[in-house]
């Protein structure tokens, strides 16, 4: 039964990874994925690029980039994400930073606080496809009216990169679902 339960969750995560609900929303919340002193990681860059596309195509008016200060950095991941978005043509006043989080749950809870402060009600959640199922559950629990839009240019393309990612997501997704039961 445990194996069946795990297989069902793997299938659910994989199927959900193709779900793109992009629509007109107040903001895009780009979930963090590390930055190194001076630049965003390749994974985070692709997430930001998707947020920028949503912005330039008129789906959102603002982008919230997320991520606290990573090990070895002086500035937050969100700081570097904002700098990158501005360098790609997004107006500085249209990029909001959530710069205290270290995990996805905090990304979303803190982004929700920013949304409340600014009067925003809806968000497109941006991350890698295999991260979307858990991210959307966390967004719902944070009280965000959110819509899934996985980045089409994810760096997780090969089986060698997808298998560890989906294994990690199954672990955290199942763990979070069980945590919610006993909370």
Domain spans in the chain, listed from the N-terminal domain onward: 14-155
Average pLDDT, the chain: 95
Confidence of residue 38 (pLDDT cuts 50, 70, 90): confident
Q: State how far the Cα of 30 lies from the Cα of 111, in Å rounded to an integer.
A: 10
Q: Which residue reads 């500085």 in tokens?
A: 92
d(CA 63, CA 96): 6
Q: Which CATH architecture group holds 14-155?
A: 3-Layer(aba) Sandwich (3.40)
Residue at token pair 């919340």: 29
Q: For residues 52 and 67, give the distance between their C-alpha atoms in angstroms, rounded to a whole number.
A: 17
Kindly indicate the confidence band of residue 71, based on its pLDDT and cuts at 50, 70 and 90: confident
Please give the Cα distance from 43 to 146 (Å, whole number). Answer: 22
């Amino acid at each position: 039964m445990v194996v069946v339960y795990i297989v069902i969750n793997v299938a659910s995560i994989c199927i959900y990874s193709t779900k793109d609900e992009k629509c007109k929303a107040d903001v895009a919340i780009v979930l963090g994925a590390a930055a190194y002193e001076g630049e965003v990681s390749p994974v985070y860059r692709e997430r930001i690029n998707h947020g920028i596309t949503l912005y330039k195509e008129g789906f959102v008016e603002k982008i919230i980039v997320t991520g606290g200060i990573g090990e070895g950095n002086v500035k937050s991941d969100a700081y570097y994400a904002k700098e990158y978005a501005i360098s790609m043509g997004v107006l500085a006043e249209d990029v909001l930073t959530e710069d205290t989080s270290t995990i996805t749950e905090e990304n979303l809870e803190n982004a929700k606080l920013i949304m409340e402060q600014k009067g925003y009600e809806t968000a497109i959640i941006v991350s890698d496809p295999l991260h979307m199922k858990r991210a959307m559950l966390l967004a719902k629990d944070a009280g965000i009216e959110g819509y899934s839009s996985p980045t089409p240019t994810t760096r997780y393309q090969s089986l060698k990169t997808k298998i560890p990612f989906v294994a990690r997501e199954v672990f955290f997704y199942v763990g979070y679902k069980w945590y919610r039961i006993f909370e």
